[in-house]
A and B are shown apart, each in its own frame.
Chain A
Amino acid sequence: MPDAQIITLGRSSEQSKCAATTSRNKPCQNFSMEGSPYCHVHQPIASGVRGASSSPGRERISEWRDFMRRRLAGQYYVDEYGYDEELSREILLPLTKFLYEQWWRVEVRGIENVPAHGPALIASNHSGTLPWDGAMLLTALQLEHPDSPVCRLLGADLLWTVPFLSHLARKAGNTVACDEDALHMLKRGELVGVFPEGFKGIGKPFSERYRLQRFGRGGFVEVAVETGAPIIPCAIVGAEEIYPMIYDFQPLARLLGFPYFPITPFFPLLGPLGMIPLPSKWIIEFGEPIPTDVFPREAKDDPMTLFDISDRVRDTIQQMLYKNLMSRRNWFL
């Protein structure tokens, strides 16, 4: 009976009335439900199941059921780089969100320097033995930026040979660090992220923390100049302390084909427990974009110009690192 009057008890009088009209063209007299302009009779069915099953727990279960059904039937969209938006938002983001908010309590500065759309290139320092800084960079953009842009990180060759990790990295929209992919993505107007230090940065000993390493061959500057994409320097403070690498056991690394084999105070001493990263305090700062469209396109063949830009990016990141390190009380606060 859509027009039956239902008197609900125990509600405050300032609660608003239902916005629907009854079948007799009179305004409905029922109180509206919380968070909706309609009463429980006129509530649109699509936004929830009526009656006893509208409890949030049930809804969540049915949402999960739909999600699983879609996944099992292959009914989802994946872009041509392998970015699976649904999986990233529903599964991966909640996992990294916990680390981001609770574990490392990441603080973000200068997010307004990141454009909502590319082409733009984020260049960041790299540290922490395992690439957690990459995951946190992506999470920061998803959670803090008003437009939640998807940043495409360029991962080193080795990453793509690792089972599961390579799979998830692809699903999160990242790709191989090579000129072809970087160019292709920037030309498509994507937001691309690079760690120019590469393994030299992520695998450096704890004693050299927050000291930027040499910037590879500077290929990232070349593609930025070629496409005219601005370079956004990014400094990540905190990732250095998650696994303080006191020794790099090279013989074992060479045997296993790794670029380094970290010995930390807890790993391999405590076994898998030693793999738990320390809960340091993180600060991620995005600096002002460094424009590259002021240079002519031909500048990409001029190594001196490229070195100059590369040095400028490096200096900016180093300065931001020192500044943010000063503002942090200690490792954990």
Chain B
Amino acid sequence: MPRRILITGISRFLGLRLARKLEANDEIDEIIGVDLEPPSEEFKRVEIVRADIRNPLFSKVLQASRADTVIHLNIIPSEAEKGRTMMKEMNVIGTMQLLAACQKSDSIRKVVVKSTTAVYGSEPEDPAFFAEEMSRRSTPKSSYCRDAMEIETYARDFGRRRPDVCLTILRFATILGSTVNNAFSRYLAQPMVPTVLGFDPRVQFIHEEDAAEATYRAAIEDHPGIFNVAADGAVPLSQAIRRAGRGQLPILPPAVWLADRVSGLMPFLNVPSAIIREIAYGRVADNSRMKEEFGFEPKYSCLDAVHDFREKKRAERIVRQETDATWEKDLREFVIRKQNERRADLTPT
């Protein structure tokens, strides 16, 4: 059982959720959260350190905290947030520095690294399910995928140099839910969602609650290895769009590639380049190893995750998210909670 846990990227949604879960566990002595930006929520027990993992000073934080478990969630999935240069700096250089610091530390027992199923790529001739030992069949095109592959390489190198450390790499499918904001959720939030004409790929999600639970288990228990973290089954993109309450706008393939290359050319088309091949060819990972090793059944199916996402969008229409006044936040939470309660009442169990 770990005593002192250090989480990087605590201000991101997965970090927040994980910290909440760890806080509830009394056997953990200390939880240290590291991020450049302060988290949007208040914690009782989590100590927040505003630090940059790229800075060599960070190793001092690790040494001083004497953390035995490091959970590396500070991975930026899209260029939209901070630009490509910053994204690469954070993802690649940040991970390098973090793992270098971990290698020097003598208190460290476990490292958990967040990755993505995007490392498998999305190609038409891909198998229906990707198992962990399969590697991609083509060179990566999206920057996120390239970063994730580099991060995994560094993590594996680290694992070789420190065989005494339990190394877990979690490959998450697209995370969706009521609080997450990522490339796919922004894509799915458009009133008319552009798709590639003639293609209806199988896509896969994981609900943010299940994603946090899987990370929590990786932090608490020892599961060395690589795991796909994904909900059961798969869903056609068209069905996901319909279930999200959106319209589908099929676009000729050249126009989609063009919209990606020349950004701003078609402002009504928001197809993030990170997922452009996924919306054409899809990607589904096999989650059986995770279910077996973690003894964990995802609570939400792919469609449940889409449904939760839709409920959030509905609530947002009632209360706009633009201002951050606390009473509005409370009100929004109230609306979401009431909607969920009413839904629970309406659906006979």
Residues of chain A whose beta carbon lies under 8 Å from any beta carbon of chain B: 71-74, 76, 78-82, 84, 157, 160-164, 166-167, 170-171, 175-176, 178, 180-181, 184
Contacts and interface: CB of A to CB of B under 8 A. Distances in A.
**Size range of the chain B interface in the assembly:** 20 to 34
A170 B124 contact: no
A180 B124 contact: no
B242 A72 contact: yes
Contacts of B243: 73-74
A219 to B, nearest CB: 13
Interface in B80-134: 124-129, 131, 134
Interface string B192-205: 00001111101000
A184 B124 CA distance: 18
A184 B198 contact: no
Contacts of A76: 239
B225 interface: no
B279 interface: no
Contact of B198 (A79, A163, A175): A163
A82 B236 contact: yes
22 contacts: A73-B243, A74-B242, A74-B243, A76-B239, A80-B232, A80-B234, A80-B284, A81-B234, A82-B234, A163-B196, A166-B198, A167-B200, A170-B200, A175-B127, A178-B127, A180-B128, A180-B131, A180-B134, A181-B127, A181-B128, A184-B128, A184-B286
B233 interface: yes
A69 B124 CA distance: 30
A271 to B, nearest CB: 21
Interface string B170-196: 000000000000000000000000001
Given A160-B124, A178-B127, A73 B242 contact: yes
Contacts of B239: 74, 76, 78
B348 to A, nearest CB: 17
B134 to A, nearest CB: 7
Given A82-B234, A82-B236, A178 B125 contact: yes
B56 interface: no
B235 interface: yes
A18 B254 CA distance: 64
A260 B117 CA distance: 35
Interface in B280-321: 281, 284, 286
A78 B236 contact: yes
Contacts of A74: 238-243
A220 B105 CA distance: 51
A82 B233 CA distance: 9
Nearest to A72: B242
Given A73-B242, A80-B233, A166-B124, 5 more contacts: A79-B233, A82-B234, A167-B198, A175-B127, A184-B286
Contacts of A84: 236
Contacts of B128: 80-82, 175-176, 180-181, 184
A74 B242 CA distance: 5
Nearest to B200: A167
A191 to B, nearest CB: 16
| Central interface residue in B128, B129, B236, B239, by most chain A CB within 10 Å | B128
Minimum-distance CB pairs A-B, first 6: A163-B198, A74-B242, A157-B125, A160-B124, A180-B127, A74-B243
Contacts of A175: 127-128
B202 A176 contact: no
Contact of A157 (B124, B198, B241, B253): B124
A229 B14 CA distance: 44
A170 B198 CA distance: 12
Given A78-B235, A78-B239, A164 B198 contact: yes
Nearest to B196: A163
A181 B131 CA distance: 11
A160 B131 CA distance: 20
A216 to B, nearest CB: 15
Interface in B206-248: 232-236, 238-243
B269 to A, nearest CB: 18
Nearest to A82: B202
Contacts of A178: 125, 127
B127 A170 contact: no
Contact of A170 (B125, B202, B241, B242): B202
Nearest to A163: B198
Nearest to B240: A74
Given A157-B124, A176-B125, A178-B127, A163 B253 contact: yes
Contacts of B200: 167, 170-171
Contacts of B233: 79-80
Interface string B132-153: 0010000000000000000000
A161 B253 CA distance: 11
B235 to A, nearest CB: 7
A71 B200 CA distance: 14
